[in-house]
Amino acid sequence: MPQKVISIRPEFRAPGAKAPRYDGGPLADTLDRPMRDLRISVTDRCNFRCVYCMPREVFDADYKFLPHEAILSFEEIARLAGIFVGLGVQKIRLTGGEPLLRKNIPELVKMLAPLGADLTLTTNGSTLVKHAGALKDAGLDRITVSLDSLDEATFRAMNDADFPVAKVLDGIAAAADAGFKPVKINMVVKRGVNDHQIVEAARHWRDSGHILRFIEYMDVGSTNGWRMDEVIPSAEVIRRISEAFPLEQVGANYTGEVAERWRYKDGGGEIGVISSVTQAFCSDCSRMRISTEGSLYTCLFAQQGHDLKSLLRNGATDNGIRDQIAAVWRLRSDRYSEIRTAATANLPKVEMSYIGG
C-alpha cells in the first residue's frame, strides 16, 4: 500500500534552501518536547496477520511488499542511528513488521550496540527461540514480545496465521535463558475478542519476573476497522485485575514513559498499561520513527513522512542530514491522541506494519 512521503522541506524554508544548521543546543519541538527515542522499522513483512495491524483481507497473498532494494540497508540504518544519537536520542527500538524476519538481524544489532543507546527490539516471538542467543551476544539490551492471549483459540484467531501459543511461550523462555530479564510482554486488548483473558494473563505472568503490559486497541493505520466501543480503557483493566490481585500504582521510570506502572501488593511483580486512547500522553512524547524504506515520521498516527533515503543515497553529509532532522523536529506539533475524535479516526494514516509500533 503506497505511503505518502514528502521531501524534507519545512515550511519556514524557501524551496531549494538549505535547512538551518543545528547549533548543538537543546532540541525541542513546538510543544517543548525533547527527542529521546527512535523506532526503526527494519521490514514491512510479517508472518502474522493480526486483526489490529495487518488484517488478512487487506494484506493478502497479492499484496506487494517492498522489494529489497527499496528498504534501508544495515549500513544506512546504522548511519542514521548514529546521527540521531548525536541529536540526543537515548533509546533505539527495532520494529517491523516482524523484525526477526529481516535476514541477519543480529548483525544490525552488532552495528548499533557501540552507539551507546539503550537498544531494544519488539517481536511476535514466533522465531525467538532461534534468535534469542545471537541477539544477546550481538549487544541487544532488552526484548518485548507481543502476545495477545494465552487461550489457544483466541490467540490463533487474533494472529490469523494459525500460530500456536506454545511456540511464543518457548520464545519468551529462550529470551530469558539468554539473559533478557525481564522480558516485556505486550497484550493489545480488544473488547469482545480477548478481554476475557485479562485476569488470566495477569495470573500467568505473576511471579514470573517478566512484565505484562496491556495496550488499548488503537486506530493506527486505515485498515483495521477501529471502533471506540471496542476499546477497553486501561482503568477497566486495572479494576478487573485488582479485584483478583490487589494493585498499587508505581511512579514512572523516566519522563515520557508510555506505560503507567502498577505492582501487586503481595510482591508478585508489576504490570503496565498503555492508554493512548483514553489517557493520551502526547505532552511527553519524545519519539521519532523511521519506516522500512527510510521515511521519517513524527507520530505513530502520521499521514505523511519525510524522505531520508534520498538524502542517504544522493550524497548528503552526516551534518546535512542532521540539520534536516533537527529542522523537522523543531516544527513538530503532533498530538493526535489528545485530539482524537470519530472523524480523526477515519483519516488516512500510515500503517503500523510499515512504520512499526
pLDDT at residue 351, as a whole number: 66
pLDDT at residue 199, as a whole number: 98
Give the separation between CA 29 and CA 23, rounded to whole angstroms. 15
**What CA–CA distances, in Å, run from 76 to 116, 220, 311?**
18, 27, 11
**The three cell numbers locating residue 298:** 513524527
Spacing of C-alpha 309 from chain mean position:
20
What structural domains and CATH numbers belong to the chain?
5-355 (3.20.20.70)
Give the separation between CA 342 and CA 323, rounded to whole angstroms. 37
pLDDT at residue 234, as a whole number: 95
pLDDT in tens, the chain (357 residues): 445 554 444 433 444 556 678 878 779 999 999 999 999 999 999 898 887 777 787 777 777 888 999 999 999 999 999 999 999 999 999 999 999 999 999 999 999 999 999 999 999 999 999 999 999 999 999 999 999 999 999 999 999 999 999 999 999 999 999 999 999 999 999 999 999 999 999 999 999 999 999 999 876 655 555 677 788 999 999 999 999 999 999 988 877 678 899 999 999 999 999 988 777 767 788 999 999 999 999 887 777 889 999 999 999 999 999 999 999 999 998 776 656 555 555 566 566 666 766
Q: Which amino acid is at 352?
A: M
**The three cell numbers locating residue 322:** 542532521
pLDDT at residue 143, as a whole number: 98
pLDDT at residue 154, as a whole number: 96
User: Considering the entire predicted model, what is its pTM?
Assistant: 0.89
Nearest to 127 by CA among 150, 154, 161, 85: 161
| Count of positions (residues) in the chain | 357
**Would you give the DSSP letter of residue 194?**
T
